[in-house]
Structure 1
Amino acid sequence: MSRTDRGSRVIAAPAETVYRALLDREALESWLPPGGMRGRIERWDPRPGGGFRMVLTYLDPTDSPGKTSGATDVVEVAFAALVPGERVVQRAEFASDDPAYAGTMTMTWDLTRAGAGTTEVTVTATDVPPGIDRAAHEAGIASSLAHLASYLEVTEFKG
């Protein structure tokens, strides 16, 4: 049976600014990795049908073995839909020999204006591979959203 995980956060930035941060390589490398990880994008093509390859490295892999290797998660992401200021839909596949991480997970980033200069960002992950722990995944989504909020507030991102 398919599984859906979610997270949401109101961010003090207009939807257009948040959208640009979802499609900027340097921004993604900075804010997307959840706490305890760092990320590096190896391939980048920000258009519908394009995508990226990200290598996420655990800062301390002792209690969090990676999906691809002992210390890394490698994920291939395709942009399925890009609706400026409103939505980014990604299809993500982990590079792993473990069948528990097989399959394509869809990550939908919905942006809703929440008030003057603020945006509610809702992330919905569908078809989550069974090897991904639900609590850890939802905590990771929340962490990425917190990093996005901090990134936009601290950097005054213009994209």
Structure 2
Amino acid sequence: MYTTRVSRRVRAPRRAVYRTLLDPEAVARWRVPDGMSCEVHSFDARAGGRFRVSLRYGDPAATGKSAEHTDTYSGVFTELVPDERVVEELAFETAAPALAGTMRLTTTLTETGDGSTEIAMVHEGVPDGVRPEDNETGTRMALDALARLVEEPPAAAGPTGPAAGPA
């Protein structure tokens, strides 16, 4: 078992990011690596609340951890600190010993002072059957998708030159 840490800054306030971490419809859109789809089966976003999620591979040649083309995991929210931290314990639903075991995922939100939020996701106890580089890449992809959901568009720039209007 091992630990990975991935972080990303998003142009959104902590409150908006925190809400997105705990919204099952949003989770189905962002907490999924590229090339996969996500189904949230259950999601009780409170301390002690349980969740169950399946990720399905779009590539028919891909092998899932729980079923032929699917990675299903379930777990419990162990700590929720509004606008600051979400701690989950989760495990893949699998009979494979190399993929078994409970992981802890801690997501921490830190204000950056410019209205942005630094998101840090630390996976502890990741089973050795999951390659560290795959865990990190999947987490980066998910954080990129999260950013697309929460980021505020840049302020509209006014006319700045000859291309801005008729000549």
Q: Output the TM-score relative to the length of structure 1.
A: 0.92
> In 1, distance between residues paired with 2:4 and 2:128?
12
Distance 2:96 2:106 in 1: 25
The answer to whether the 8 Å contact 2:66/2:92 transfers is yes
Look up the match of 1:32: 31
Cα-Cα RMSD: 1.3
> Paired residue for 2:83, among 85, 97, 103?
85
Contact 1:106 1:126 in 2 (8 A): yes
Runs (4+) off by over 2 Å:
none
Q: Which consecutive residues of structure 1, in runs of 5 or more, have no partner in the other structure?
A: none
TM-score normalised over the length of structure 2 = 0.88
Distance 1:61 1:104, change over 3 A: farther
How far apart are 1:154 and its partner, in Å?
7.2
| Corresponding position: 1:132 with 2:130 | yes
Give the match for residue 96 of structure 1: 94
Please tell me whether Structure 1 or Structure 2 has the larger radius of gyration of its CA atoms.
2
**Alignment: residue pair count:** 153
* Residue pairs, 1:1-159, within 5 angstroms: 2-62=1-61, 64-153=62-151
Check whether the contact 1:43–1:54 (CA below 8 A) recurs between aligned residues. Answer: yes
Give me the identity figure in percent. 41
